Amino acid sequence: MARFLILTGIIFVVVGIIFQLFPGLLNWLGRLPGDIRYETESTRVYIPITTMLLLSILLTIAINLLRRLF
């Protein structure tokens, strides 16, 4: 369990450093086909269906790989 927490912390630090160095790296995220946007003068509705599906798949793969390593 301790190794998992240490590895998770290291991954968060590395991802944070990457986002600090390259702020425009993931600008496409949230603007994928299938993400619903509805805007009027007084209302904004945003439903990121495709983005959430993609993140869910990637996180599932990452967690399964980490479970097999430890």
Give per-residue pLDDT as tens, 10-66.
999 999 999 899 988 888 888 889 999 999 999 999 999 999 999 999 999 988 998
User: How far apart, in whole angstroms, are the C-alpha atoms of residue 55 and residue 63?
Assistant: 12
Tally of domains within the chain: 1
pLDDT for residue 4? 79
User: How far apart, in whole angstroms, are the C-alpha atoms of residue 44 and residue 23?
Assistant: 24
Please return the burial class of 51, using the count of CB atoms within 10 Å of its CB with bins 0-12, 13-18 and 19+: middle
Which has the higher per-residue pLDDT, 8 or 44?
44
pLDDT for residue 69? 81
What's this model's pTM, rounded to 2 decimal places? 0.65
Q: Is the pLDDT of residue 1 over 90?
A: no
Amino acid at 51: T
Domain containing 26: what range? 2-69
Would you mind telling me the total number of residues written for the chain in this entry? 70
User: How far apart, in whole angstroms, are the C-alpha atoms of residue 67 and residue 64?
Assistant: 5
